Amino acid sequence: MRATLLILAATLLALPRPGAAQIYRCVHDGQVQYVQAKPRDGQCDKEDVTPQPPIGDAGTATSLEKYSKEIDKERRQEAKEKQAADQQAQRRQQVCSAARRRQAMLDRYGSRQARIDENGQQQYMTDAQYQQERKAVEQAVHDSCG
């Protein structure tokens, strides 16, 4: 795309530009007329008119460079957004996997799971603790796994 735009710009810059036209200003019956060919009556004044450059001709290369830079900036921004979305999806997958492992452990062992308290003693989960943990894990699976 960028190469195509650069080739187009180079082609436009290489084309010949129209030269100055010969224009005559004539006054007939109090009205001013502009003509390209000198009339026979000779009551016209020659005016040198230099045509204006075509629209977009001035600074074409600069405009193309600006456009190319804008496109590059947009593509970099899109790449950053995609990378952030990919990282977020990967993190979500990790959380989902951990929640599913915890859920499988609760299914397999139930309330017979033990935890070590601050005194170093083994404490088994009560049925209420098991139900609470089960609900929390189910919510985590629902939120992170879709």
- Cα Rg, the chain, nearest whole Å: 40
* Band of residue 88 on the pLDDT scale cut at 50, 70, 90: very high
Q: Which two tokens mark 121?
A: 């003693």
Helix locations, the chain, DSSP H: 2-14, 60-109, 127-145
Give the model's pLDDT for residue 76.
95
Domain definitions of the chain by residue range = 82-146
Give the model's pLDDT for residue 78.
96
- Within 10 Å of residue 26's Cβ, how many Cβ atoms? 16
Please state the pTM of the whole predicted model: 0.46
CA–CA distance, 135 with 129 (Å, rounded to integer): 10
Hunting for tokens 């405009």 — which residue is that?
63
